[in-house]
Structure 1
Amino acid sequence: MTTRISARFTDLAAQGRPGLVTFITAGDPDTETSLEILRRLPAAGADIIELGVPFTDPMADGPAIQAGGLRALAAGQTLAKTLEMVRAFREGDDATPIVLMGYFNPIYIYGVPRFITDAKAAGVDGLIIVDLPPEEDAELCLPALEAGLDFIRLATPTTDEKRLPTVLAHTAGFVYYVSITGITGSAAPDANAVGTAVARIKQHTALPVAVGFGVRTPAQAAAIAAGADAVVVGSALVEAVRKTLDQDGKATANTVVAVETLVQELAEAVRGVTRQAAE
Structure 2
Amino acid sequence: MTRLAAAFAKPSPALIAFVTAGDPTPAATPAILEALVEGGADVIELGMPFTDPMADGPAIQAANIRSLGAGTTTADILAIAKGFRARHPDVPLVLMGYANPMIRRGADRFAAAAKDAGVDGVICVDIPPEEDDALGPALRAAGIAAIRLATPTTDAARLPTVLTGASGFLYYVSVAGITGKQQPQQDSIDAAVARLKAATELPVAVGFGIRTPEQAAQVARVADGVVVGSAIVEIVARHGVGSPGPVAAYIRTLADAVAGARQTLMEIGA
Match of 1:262 among 220, 244, 250: 250
Aligned residue identity for 1:224: V
Q: Does 1:150 align with 2:145?
A: yes
Match of 2:14 among 2, 13, 19: 19
1:153–1:167 Cα contact (<8 Å) kept: yes
CA distance in 1, matches of 2:203, 2:23: 29
**Structure 1 residues without counterparts, runs of 5 or longer:** 246-250
1:18–1:273 Cα contact (<8 Å) kept: no
Corresponding residue number in structure 1 for 2:36 = 41
Measured after TM superposition, the shift of residue 221 of structure 1 is 0.8
2:147–2:168 Cα contact (<8 Å) kept: yes
Q: Does 1:219 align with 2:224?
A: no
Corresponding residue number in structure 2 for 1:118 = 113
Q: Does 1:5 align with 2:4?
A: yes
- Say which SS state the counterpart of residue 133 (structure 2) adopts: coil
Q: What aligned pairs does 1:98-177 form with structure 2 within 5 A after superposition?
A: 98-177=93-172
1:29–1:71 Cα contact (<8 Å) kept: yes
Aligned residue identity for 1:259: V
CA distance in 1, matches of 2:22, 2:87: 19
2:35–2:245 Cα contact (<8 Å) kept: no
Corresponding residue number in structure 2 for 1:241 = 236
1:179–1:213 Cα contact (<8 Å) kept: yes
CA distance in 2, matches of 1:83, 1:46: 20
Greater fraction helix: 2
- Say which SS state the counterpart of residue 21 (structure 1) adopts: strand
Measured after TM superposition, the shift of residue 110 of structure 1 is 3.3
Aligned residue identity for 2:255: A
Corresponding residue number in structure 2 for 1:28 = 23
1:33–1:256 Cα contact (<8 Å) kept: no
2:103–2:135 Cα contact (<8 Å) kept: no
Moved over 3 A (4+): none
Deviations 1:152-175 (A, max 9, x none): 000000000000000001110000
**Structure 2 residues without counterparts, runs of 5 or longer:** none
CA distance in 1, matches of 2:229, 2:158: 26
CA distance in 2, matches of 1:48, 1:55: 22
Report the identity percentage: 52
Q: Does 1:54 align with 2:49?
A: yes
1:191–1:227 Cα contact (<8 Å) kept: no
- Say which SS state the counterpart of residue 31 (structure 1) adopts: coil
- Give the RMSD, CA atoms, in angstroms: 1.4
1:49–1:99 Cα contact (<8 Å) kept: yes
Aligned residue identity for 1:258: P
Aligned residue identity for 2:96: M
- Say which SS state the counterpart of residue 86 (structure 1) adopts: helix
Deviations 1:160-204 (A, max 9, x none): 000000000111000000000100011111112101101101111
Match of 1:210 among 196, 205, 217: 205
Aligned residue identity for 2:262: T
Match of 1:273 among 258, 261, 266: 261
CA distance in 2, matches of 1:109, 1:138: 14
Deviations 1:237-258 (A, max 9, x none): 000111124xxxxx3x3x1111
Corresponding residue number in structure 2 for 1:186 = 181
What's the TM-score once normalised by structure 1's chain length? 0.92
Task: Tell me how many residue pairs correspond in the alignment.
Answer: 266
